[in-house]
Amino acid sequence: MNTAKIALAFIFVLTLSLCAKETSALTSSSLTDVKIQSVLTEAYNKFKDDDSGKNADYIKALAEVNPKIFAITLVTPDGKIYEIGDTKELVSIQSISKVFTASLLLQERGDKFLQEKVGVNATGLAFNSVIAIELHGRTASNPFVNAGAIESTSWIKAKNSADRWYSIKQNMNDFAGRKLPFNEKVYISEVHDNKSNQAIAKLLDANNLMGSDPLEATTVYTKQCSVNISSHDLAVMGSSLANHGVNPISKKRVLDSKYVPKLLAVMATAGLYDNAGDWLYATGTPAKSGVGGGILAVVPGKLAIGVVSPPLDKYGNSVRGQEAAAYIINRLGLNPMAQ
Ligand code: GLU
């Protein structure tokens, strides 16, 4: 190779590396306030008229919630908030509360306890399945199906039921950075109709898996599901998980950083009921949904998205919630599996 060719090759390699630097700089700097807000607006406009799905009705009060509510909020680890839609409308948190009780359990008893006592594997069956418990050796499998959630609630350290409820509620308030309201109507509706959850708790108790009286734990669990949240609350709650366990707004530590990846891993495995695999395939992110119509997705280290829209698909996941959150994550190029 003569000197001219070597010089040309050198210039070529230099140009390539400069281009690569330019591209990655563009990618990170393209996450500007304007870009994030415009992607939220795109998602909102794209999906606002999708009226597919149906409110949950096995808890009667959920069927009466306005199905038109649609709100998206995104919070970053430096506490910036972006939002659009009915971001102050409240719905019951339902299953998303399971994330915060599992967080408290991790904090109180450690990751081995969660893994060995409750479990961290998917059931492949519906969130309220009784067969799943039998199939998996009378264990709950994970803290995000009803069985594992009620079991987790039962192990929260407390002197009595009122104390346990206080501690769970206080923990959710810390994640939200405010005192979350309680939805009495949803609670009354569900507490009179939670016999299968009671049966699940008793089944686990028969296998010595409950930390407190099974019916008492079911009542506290029903209360935690009846806490009201908005998309804004959800995104703030999730932002602590995107920020290594510190609430970026209040600056309060809500979970030891060493437990954050554990909790996010369970969300990735079992957060969207028996459709968690499809969700992970589409977005690569840990998330949790609730039958009240909320969904919370976390891009570790980057942001949290809360969406509220009550109509659900056949798995119990908010239709527009999944659509909007998946659109935003992919449009911002934030699928963690693609980094
Ligand atoms: N409270 C509801 C139940 O126990 C929560 C279900 C959910 O959101 O998945 O059925």
For position 193, what pLDDT does the model report? 85
In sequence order, what are the beta bridge partners of 299?
303
What does the DSSP 8-state code read for residue 123?
A: -
- Tens place of pLDDT per residue across the chain (339 aa): 454 554 444 444 443 343 333 333 224 446 899 999 999 999 999 999 999 999 999 999 999 999 999 999 999 999 999 999 999 999 999 999 999 999 999 999 999 999 999 999 999 899 999 999 999 988 999 999 999 999 999 999 999 999 999 999 999 999 999 999 999 999 999 998 899 999 999 999 999 999 999 999 999 999 999 999 999 999 999 999 999 999 999 999 999 999 999 999 999 999 998 899 999 999 999 999 999 999 999 999 999 999 999 999 999 999 999 999 999 999 999 999 999
d(CA 204, CA 264): 25
- Tokens representing 270 are 């079992």
For position 12, what pLDDT does the model report? 41
Q: Report how far ligand 1's centroid is from the alpha carbon of 108 (Å).
A: 24
d(CA 256, CA 247): 12
Give, using CA atoms, the residue closest to atom 7 of ligand 1. 95
- Tokens representing 248 are 């970026």
Instruction: Report pTM.
Output: 0.91
Q: Output the CA torsion sign for 152, 157, 163, 169.
A: negative
Q: Report how far ligand 1's centroid is from the alpha carbon of 290 (Å).
A: 7
- What residue type is assigned to position 225 of the chain? C
Output the CA–CA distances (angstroms, integers) from residue 32 to 29, 43, 239, in the order listed. Answer: 6, 17, 18
Give, using CA atoms, the residue closest to atom 2 of ligand 1. 94
For position 5, what pLDDT does the model report? 52
Mutate to test the pocket of ligand 1, among 100, 127, 153, 223 (most ligand atoms within 8 A of CB): 127
Helix/strand/coil for 81: strand
Domains of the chain from N-terminus onward? 31-332 (3.40.710.10)
Which atom of ligand 1 is found nearest the CA of 94?
8
Q: Report how far ligand 1's centroid is from the alpha carbon of 113 (Å).
A: 23
Pocket of ligand 1 (CB under 6 A): 94-95, 127-128, 146, 190, 197, 225, 290-291, 316
Angle CA 289–293–299, to nearest 5: 40
Give, using CA atoms, the residue closest to atom 4 of ligand 1. 146
- Give the H or E element holding residue 134: helix 131-135
Secondary structure tally for the chain: helices H, strands E = 15, 7
Mutate to test the pocket of ligand 1, among 65, 195, 218, 291 (most ligand atoms within 8 A of CB): 291
In sequence order, what are the beta bridge partners of 305?
74, 297
78's torsion region: left (phi>0), alpha (psi -120 to 50) or beta? alpha
- What residue type is assigned to position 244 of the chain? H
Q: Report how far ligand 1's centroid is from the alpha carbon of 11 (Å).
A: 61
% residues pLDDT > 70 (the chain): 91
Q: Report how far ligand 1's centroid is from the alpha carbon of 88 (Å).
A: 22
